[in-house]
Amino acid sequence: MPKYVYDFIEGDRGRADLLGGKGANLSEMTRLGLPVPPGFTISTDACRAYLATGAPPDGLFAEVNAHLRDVEARLDRRLGDPRDPLLLAVRSGGRYSMPGMMDTVLDIGLNDSTVGGLAAHSGDARFAWDSYRRLIQMFGRTVHGLPAEDFERELEALRATAGPAGPNAEQLRDLVETYKKIFAAQVGHEFPQAPHEQLYLAIRSVFESWNSQRARLYRHQEHIPDDLGTAVNIMAMVFGNLGPNSGTGVAFTRDPASGAPGVYGDYLANAQGEDVVAGIRNTVGLPELARIDPVSYRRLLEIMATLERHYRDLCDIEFTIERGRLWMLQTRVGKRTAAAAFVIAAQLVDEGLITLDEALHRVTGAQLAQLMFPAFDLAGAPRPLAVGLGASPGAAVGRVVFDSAAAEAADGPVILVRRETNPDDLPGMIASAGVLTSRGGKTSHAAVVARGMGRTCVCGADALRIDAERGEFTVGDRVVRAGEVVSIDGMTGKVYPGELPVRPSPVARYLAGELAPEADPLVVAVHRLLGHADAVRRLGVRANADSGADARLARRLGATGIGLCRTEHMFLGARRELVERLILAEGPDEVTAALDALLPLQRADFVEILTAMDGLPVTIRLIDPPLHEFLPPLHELTARVARAEARGEDPGRDGRLLRAVRRMHEANPMLGLRGVRLGLMIPGLFAMQVRAIAEAAAQRRRDGGDPRPEIMVPLVGDVRELRAVRAEIEPVLAGVPDAPEILLGTMIEVPRAALTAGEIAGAAHFFSFGTNDLTQTVWAFSRDDVEGSFFDAYLERGILELSPFERIDPVGVGRLVRLAVAEGRAAQPKLTIGVCGEHGGDPDSIAFFADAGVDYVSCSPYRVPIARLAAGRAAV
Ligand code: PEP
Ligand code: MG
């Protein structure tokens, strides 16, 4: 017969999978000799068995009864004893905390005969009848789903007539009669009088509450698996509502908001825990307890110190004082803000409780990310206009504009509001303080580009009806016109009307070198932990940057090189016309002229970037996207040409462009003429870029610099493609005097490249995984479309837990990564291997890449500190 029930003395905190978090910690406290009311835990195994069949597993209640007899023996009280009844609390508690999502039933064991025993034994009839009415109400709500208001209404009516001292025992007895009638009328039978039956029904309802709608929703949001089940904790009741020397409270061993040491918490005299939640009376600060009950207070402080030393972390605690006797009802390692996480970890190192390695595991990259952005001061903030997805964090305030031109022309900060963005919006995004879209998810163009630039972005705020032509958007009947000020929060996705005050981030100022590390406790903590991460990490951290400004920023933030410089970004804006010239060129002379015009511009860009990254590697990727991305959209051109023709004019250049767009149209451009294919099909294009790189490096050398460019070829699927490119560009490199040796490598971003990595390694100095395209091609998910399409449904149905574009899919895409690392290295042991897709800045993905044995990750400049921390965590 499997064992389903564990006395608190049998478990320990290492068994949270089996006993749930609450049960495991109750066990731990019991073992520590702390005052925990006697009790036991029904395991999550039992819950899973119940949920699978709809019935309690064989023998469960017999086991419960055996443990109950132990508790009765220890307390010398029995469940259902009319003279001096034992009462029980039945509480849920899964592996992960799901606050308030599942059920609790207190005061089990009260009925028409035991209520008298409780009154006699406690000497407080009022308390006994109040407990009975609480049981009927809680039991009715949790076991039978009765609406709380039906009971609350009666209680409120009684309170209103009872006067300041509250209802007396007789009134409460009458209320119990009323409650029993409500119960019977709604449920169809009398309130169960048999205490064991009450207990079994409560246990079943806790099991079932695992699958309540709100519990499922919470798990979905928090990425908690649906198949874990909850444990059930059954404990002797202790009462905080037995008069002025009783009470209940919560305590934290440090401030969970700032991390500051001290005593934090709340206390409510003469109350049960549920009264605190209900907010019937105001709690007092925990230090008040020192005055109310100094003995219990001192004991509580001792216990808090014991728990903190034992758990070596911030603990939060729920306790009850019953007539001057302190009882611990719960403890756990407490939730905290991002700032407190860093401060506490550093403090615990100073106090000798944990090592620096352990401290790294107490903080996360996501927390550091939060701390790097300015935040709104929300005191007195108006209600948000709309809520979208927090796609790129920060707090941006500005006047609303609806297009790039207006953003560029504006005086002062603006928020660019678009239905969605495309590469044409880039200048506008650069000119804006923040970007707000009504469509698209976290990997939409707006989100990816904004994150890359460190612009605040809220996307997919689908309540917005944007009418760019009229220069306004509406939310319901509220109209916001161009020029009005809005505030957008890239962390929470909230959009506020008007200007909210912004608090700058001290961490960002420190990372940018504007603030000394001693500036405040948070900055001190970040400085220490990041320093330790750098000392222990094996993964290098480079940046994705394509301008001198970004390269300088990345270097300040700790990047040791550039892992991806996307050269096509240098062809936007005013230079787009030069690309158009190339596309429209007829005959080799026109092609050469167009390329010659681009060459000096590219060279100047590279000089700036190589200067910023002097002495560090700069991986420059040859042009990747299909060329028609540089042409105006088909519908726009068609309209322009049609208008010209209607006026009887020659559409001229527009006509040629339109023919080119039609000629170059592809049904699947992402699988079309792009990357290495483009380089091979337009002779001279790659050669021009390579010459610009080599000449820039030569110039830097002549100027006394130490340029280390590397050339990277995109979208290679076959080693012969790479060889063909080398054959074209090696003579170019050889022909540039003073150029340093330039390494030549390839992206691994299509499955075939990964599968033939051994062959490809023979023709490459390095690999860099383009995990964006690799994810796109392995899953056959269009990276530009999925977010607004079926992803939400996939996430909701549990087919995906997270977008594979956000976090690397370790099973499928990751398998190809591991294979390519192994086969690439087997063929060429010195091969350097990096990652430059978006995943290079995602902490969980970084842990995967560290394990897969890559040499470095590359991410947007603002994510560099996050990647440094994540790489440190992966190493300890
Ligand atoms: C990639 O595909 O992961 C990559 C880095 O290239 P891009 O995002 O420019 O396609
Ligand atoms: Mg790519």
Give residue-wise pLDDT tens across range 770-794: 999 999 999 999 988 887 788 888 8
Mean pLDDT of 591-606: 95
Token reading at 258: 């700032």
Please tell me the number of Cα atoms within 13 Å of 683 on its side-chain side.
7
Q: Which are the contacts of 392, defined by CB distance < 8 A and separation ≥ 6?
A: 435, 447, 450, 451, 454, 455, 456, 457, 490
Paired strand residues for 317: 251, 331
285 or 621: which leads in pLDDT: 621
- For residue 448, which atom of ligand 1 is closest to its CA? 8
Lowest-confidence region among 28-32, 217-221, 366-370, 743-747: 217-221
In this prediction, residue 443 has a pLDDT band, given cuts at 50, 70 and 90, of low
| Binding annotation for substrate | 566, 621, 749, 770-773
Q: Which amino acid is at 348?
A: L
- Alpha carbon distances (Å) from 138 to 106, 202, 205: 7, 10, 11
Judged by its nearest atom, the ligand closest to the C-alpha of residue 772 is 1
In this structure, the residue with its CA closest to atom 4 of ligand 1 is: 770
3-class secondary structure, 541:
strand
- For residue 773, which atom of ligand 1 is closest to its CA? 2
Does the CA dihedral 589-593-596-598 come out positive or negative? negative
CATH 3.40.50.720 fits 537-626+666-875, yes or no: no
* Alpha carbon distance 181, 174 (integer Å): 11
pLDDT at 541: 98
Q: Which of 670, 674, 836, 856 to mutate to test the pocket of ligand 1 (most atoms within 8 A of CB)?
A: 836
Give me the residue label for tokens 């309209």. Answer: 639
Token reading at 678: 């483009």
Nearest to 202 by CA among 178, 238, 234, 236: 234
- For residue 544, which atom of ligand 1 is closest to its CA? 5
In this prediction, residue 492 has a pLDDT band, given cuts at 50, 70 and 90, of confident
- For residue 749, which atom of ligand 1 is closest to its CA? 2
In this prediction, residue 796 has a pLDDT band, given cuts at 50, 70 and 90, of confident
The answer to whether the CB of 678 falls within 8 A of the CB of 627 is yes
Report pLDDT digits (tens) over 256-291.
Answer: 888 999 888 889 999 987 776 665 677 889 999 999
Residue 179 above 70 pLDDT?
yes
pLDDT at 278: 61
Bridge-based pairing state of the strands 389-392 and 456-459 = antiparallel
**Strand residue runs (E) in 770-855:** 832-835
Judged by its nearest atom, the ligand closest to the C-alpha of residue 860 is 1
Share of the chain above pLDDT 90, in %: 79
CATH of range 247-336; options 1.10.1040.10, 3.30.470.20, 3.40.50.2300, 3.40.50.10190: 3.30.470.20
Paired strand residues for 267: 249, 284
Report pLDDT digits (tens) over 625-642.
Answer: 988 888 888 888 999 999
Q: Which amino acid is at 597?
A: A
pLDDT at 280: 61
| Binding annotation | 566, 621, 749, 770-773
Paired strand residues for 745: 712
Residue ranges per structural domain of the chain? 5-236, 247-336, 373-504, 537-626+666-875
Mean pLDDT of 755-779: 98
Report pLDDT digits (tens) over 507-566.
Answer: 999 998 889 988 789 999 999 999 999 999 999 999 999 999 999 999 999 999 999 999
Token reading at 190: 């009398």
Domains 5-236 and 373-504 share a fold: no
Enumerate the H helices of 568-706 as residue ranges: 576-584, 587-612, 634-646, 653-664, 676-681, 685-702
* Alpha carbon distance 852, 846 (integer Å): 10
Q: Which amino acid is at 776?
A: Q
In this structure, the residue with its CA closest to atom 3 of ligand 1 is: 770
Distance from the alpha carbon of residue 707 to the mean position of ligand 2, in angstroms: 25
Share of the chain above pLDDT 70, in %: 99
3-class secondary structure, 64:
helix
**Nearest-5° angle of CA 105, CA 106, CA 110?**
115
* Neighbouring C-beta atoms of residue 732, cutoff 10 Å: 19
Distance from the alpha carbon of residue 425 to the mean position of ligand 2, in angstroms: 20
In this prediction, residue 133 has a pLDDT band, given cuts at 50, 70 and 90, of very high
The answer to whether the CB of 561 falls within 8 A of the CB of 541 is no
pLDDT at 279: 58
Q: Which are the contacts of 111, defined by CB distance < 8 A and separation ≥ 6?
A: 80, 132, 193, 194, 195, 198
Token reading at 197: 């039956």
Please tell me the number of Cα atoms within 13 Å of 29 on its side-chain side.
29
- Alpha carbon distances (Å) from 158 to 124, 153, 176, 184, 676: 19, 9, 12, 20, 80
* Alpha carbon distance 318, 477 (integer Å): 46
CATH of range 373-504; options 3.90.600.10, 3.30.70.1400, 3.40.950.10, 3.50.30.10: 3.50.30.10
Tell me, rounded to whole angstroms, the distance of Cα 658 from its chain centroid: 44
* Neighbouring C-beta atoms of residue 231, cutoff 10 Å: 32
In this structure, the residue with its CA closest to atom 1 of ligand 1 is: 770
What does pLDDT average to over the chain? Answer: 93
* Alpha carbon distance 800, 793 (integer Å): 9
Judged by its nearest atom, the ligand closest to the C-alpha of residue 768 is 1
Please tell me the number of Cα atoms within 13 Å of 565 on its side-chain side.
31
Q: Which of 566, 570, 849 to mutate to test the pocket of ligand 1 (most atoms within 8 A of CB)?
A: 566
Mean pLDDT of 184-207: 97
Nearest to 841 by CA among 870, 818, 810: 870
For 5-236, CATH gives 3.30.1490.20
Token reading at 860: 């947007």
pLDDT at 740: 96
The answer to whether the CB of 613 falls within 8 A of the CB of 562 is yes
In this prediction, residue 609 has a pLDDT band, given cuts at 50, 70 and 90, of very high
Percent helix, strand, coil in the chain (nearest 5)? 50, 20, 35
Burial of 312 from C-beta contacts in 10 A (0-12 / 13-18 / 19+): middle
Q: Which of 542, 670, 712, 772 to mutate to test the pocket of ligand 1 (most atoms within 8 A of CB)?
A: 772
Q: What are the backbone dihedrals phi and psi of residue 843, each rounded to the nearest 5 degrees, phi first?
A: -55, -45
Paired strand residues for 474: 465, 479
Distance from the alpha carbon of residue 842 to the mean position of ligand 2, in angstroms: 17
Tell me, rounded to whole angstroms, the distance of Cα 351 from its chain centroid: 30
3-class secondary structure, 42:
strand
Distance from the alpha carbon of residue 852 to the mean position of ligand 1, in angstroms: 19
Report pLDDT digits (tens) over 688-730.
Answer: 999 999 999 999 999 999 999 999 999 999 999 999 999 999 9
| Binding annotation for Mg(2+) | 749, 773
3-class secondary structure, 6:
strand
Distance from the alpha carbon of residue 528 to the mean position of ligand 1, in angstroms: 33
In this structure, the residue with its CA closest to atom 6 of ligand 1 is: 770
Residues labelled as active-site residues: 445, 836
Bridge-based pairing state of the strands 434-437 and 456-459 = parallel
Token reading at 307: 């728990």
Distance from the alpha carbon of residue 24 to the mean position of ligand 2, in angstroms: 47
Residue 662 above 80 pLDDT?
yes
Distance from the alpha carbon of residue 565 to the mean position of ligand 1, in angstroms: 11
Residue 574 above 90 pLDDT?
no
Burial of 6 from C-beta contacts in 10 A (0-12 / 13-18 / 19+): buried
3-class secondary structure, 190:
coil
- Alpha carbon distances (Å) from 818 to 395, 589, 771, 824, 870: 39, 46, 13, 10, 19
The answer to whether the CB of 264 falls within 8 A of the CB of 251 is yes
In this prediction, residue 213 has a pLDDT band, given cuts at 50, 70 and 90, of confident
- For residue 769, which atom of ligand 1 is closest to its CA? 3
Q: What are the backbone dihedrals phi and psi of residue 102, each rounded to the nearest 5 degrees, phi first?
A: -120, -175
Which protein residues are within 6 Å of ligand 1, measured from CB? 564, 566, 624, 749, 770-773, 836-837
DSSP string, 495-524: EEESPPPEEPPHHHHHHTTSS-GGGSHHHH
In this structure, the residue with its CA closest to atom 10 of ligand 1 is: 773
3-class secondary structure, 815:
helix
Give me the residue label for tokens 């500190």. Answer: 865
Token reading at 453: 């630039």
Residues in the chain: 876
Output b/e per residue, 741-757; b: 16+ Cβ within 10 A: ebbbbbbbbbbebbbbb
- For residue 714, which atom of ligand 1 is closest to its CA? 6
Judged by its nearest atom, the ligand closest to the C-alpha of residue 623 is 1
Token reading at 679: 């380089």
Q: Which of 619, 747, 845, 859 to mutate to test the pocket of ligand 1 (most atoms within 8 A of CB)?
A: 747
In this structure, the residue with its CA closest to atom 9 of ligand 1 is: 566
